[in-house]
Structure 1
Amino acid sequence: MTYSKEEIIAKAREVADMIAETEEVEFFKRAEAQINENQKVREKIASLKSLQKQAVNFQAYGKERALGLIEGKIQKIEEEIDAVPIVQEFKQSQSDVNSLLQMVSTAIANQVTNNIITSTGGDILRGETGSKVEASKPTKLS
């Protein structure tokens, strides 16, 4: 059976919907909501964004000393934000969701590769398609 691109995309959307309903994604959403509700974190993020804009301007105008001072302030605020427990949990949940997506991507790629190898009469253990296996067999001399 041959599938169309549209059918494959439809199945990919189904898998995406399944992923969106995992514990990892649910935790990510809860952690993000808690960060958005945290006034202290919101203020620090606003300060960080303002300093980052200043840094871009200082860099554009070649103001190295001012840029260095701003970068120090940026680093300090980033450390303060990262020290908030919910931010640490949020970053861990981001990593967990990314790992899940990577696992799905790897599983798809491996399955496609294995199906190609199998359908061409190849050797999965060697990772060779049937065309490579056939090409490596000695030819009969007449």
Structure 2
Amino acid sequence: MSTKYTRDDIIEKAKEIATMIANTEEVDFFKRAEAQINENQTVREKIASLKSLQKQAVNFQHLGKEKALKMIEGKIEAIEAEIDDLPIVQEFKQSQGDVNSLLQLVANSISNNVTNQIIEATEGDLLRGETGSKVKNTTYDSCS
């Protein structure tokens, strides 16, 4: 007979996995990149300008000043592009992507393994990705 686990057991294991992920090279690099961005004067100035322009855009939108709004939106896009072009920001975004990829890998691995274990437990067909009940129903249907 197989062991039955509770939600609490699973949450506890998830915390262990979270701790493991938090201590990977990918997360370490992400933390360093984020700290560098927060300490970078150029980035801070550009973000401050961006926030100011965004407030102006909200005001122009509220007042219905379409022409002024379009001009401000153009300036916002230009500053966003300048920020995105900074190597430090590109490294940060890359590190975000790496961490997200790791999280997705873990989620997919869990999902695939649960599915495979269900298929195996029901004596299904792993190659077809069908549970035993589907395989038995197909066999039964073809006999009638």
What range is the shorter-chain TM-score in?
Answer: over 0.9
Partner of 1:20: 22
Equivalent residue, structure 2, for 1:132: 134
Separation of aligned partners in 2, 1:82 and 1:35: 12
5+ residue gaps, structure 1: none
Give the alignment of 1:80-99 within 5 angstroms.
80-99=82-101
**Aligned equivalents of 1:90, 1:77: Cα separation in 2:** 17
Structure 1 match to 2:78: 76
Q: Aligned partners of 1:45 and 1:134: how far apart in 2?
A: 61
Measure, in 1, the Cα distance between the counterparts of 2:116 and 2:58: 48
Number of residue equivalences: 141
Q: Please, what TM-score do these two structures have when normalized by structure 2?
A: 0.91
- Counterpart of 1:13, as a letter, is K
* Aligned mates of 1:54, 1:117 — CA distance in 2: 58
- Runs of 4+ residues deviating >6 angstroms: none
Match of 1:65 among 67, 71, 76: 67
Deviations 1:9-43 (A, max 9, x none): 11011101100111111000001101111111111
Partner of 2:41: 39
TM-score with structure 1 length normalisation?
A: 0.92
Aligned CA RMSD, in angstroms, stands at 1.4
Moved more, 7-16 or 78-87: 78-87
1:80 Cα deviation (Å)?
A: 1.2
Amino acid at match of 2:6: S
Identity %: 70
Aligned mates of 1:5, 1:70 — CA distance in 2: 51
When structure 1 is superposed on structure 2, of 89-98 and 131-140 the one drifting more is 131-140
CA positional deviation for 1:128: 0.3
Deviation at 1:79, TM superposition (A): 1.3
- Please show how residues 99-118 of structure 1 align to structure 2 within 5 Å: 99-118=101-120
Report how far residue 53 of structure 1 moved: 2.6
In the aligned structure 1, how far is the partner of 2:57 from the partner of 2:26? 35
Aligned partner of residue 3 in structure 1, secondary structure = coil
Query: In the aligned structure 2, how far is the partner of 1:111 from the partner of 1:118?
Result: 10
CA distance in 1, matches of 2:19, 2:67: 49
- Name the SS for the 2:140 alignment partner: coil
